[in-house]
Amino acid sequence: MGSGIAQICATKGLDVLINDRSADLLDRSMQSIRKSLQRLTQKGSLSKETADEALGRIRTETSLEGLRHADFVIEAVVEDEAIKRNIFQTLDKVTSVHTILASNTSSISITKLGAATSKPHRVIGMHFMNPVPLMKLVELARGQHTSGQTFEACKGLAEFLGKDVATSQDRPGFLVNRVLIPMINEAFFCLMEGVGSAEDIDKGMRLGTNQPMGPLRLADFIGLDTCLSIMKVLHNGLGDSKYRPCPLLQSYVDAGWVGQKAGKGVYQYDQEHQKDART
């Protein structure tokens, strides 16, 4: 998702620095952006000139020190609270006092992430939907310390990027995943209990509720490991047994069947699907 966020920012004329822990991951990110821009130009959604200019605005770096002069940082690492807190502690040290620190987290407390810094008033949740260049929504979540100025600046950036904004309180799962992930979890319970096949569960939700993608196929697209992490945040954070992760979902993740990016989840994917997901 970080690649998608970088792409839309660069397309809108912003200078972008992508940071990751290795040059190989950064190369994959740039390959993903090039392929995405190429698809948009082929469809006529974007001119080749705009795509080329966007690529020219993107730099990559493996050190967080490169963010020292950034005005706005959007963190988009794995959905793990400990990892995110560690990154926010580091960002707090290397960025300017005026820098806004946003997290693309889909479930983790913004208040906790802000508390890991010396400027929690400048920490906010900015949850993009995947795939970022195509999905219109950005979900904003204010922590206990988030200032009104930070919120308005983040809202302004989202709207500048052409997104519609929904605002959530700082609660586990926020709005979208508070509703979506339990639906996916229940689909796994239906599959585990033999209520229906994966194909029929997905067909029922697609054709019966007019969803573009069934919940099990969507889970593969999101990543079963990510779905499980969010479900655990809901279960632990809200303390309600209705958020208990389905054992079958846990079993798939334990087996490494985490969805399209791994080549196998609920469904089997060919090598081309697998390659696209990883890049």
Name the residues annotated as catalytic.
106, 127, 139, 177
What is the spatial distance between Cα 51 and Cα 40, in angstroms, rounded to a whole number? 9
- 216, 198 contact by CB (below 8 A): yes
Give the bridge partners for 138, in sequence order.
128, 165
What is the spatial distance between Cα 209 and Cα 195, in angstroms, rounded to a whole number? 18
What is the spatial distance between Cα 5 and Cα 76, in angstroms, rounded to a whole number? 9
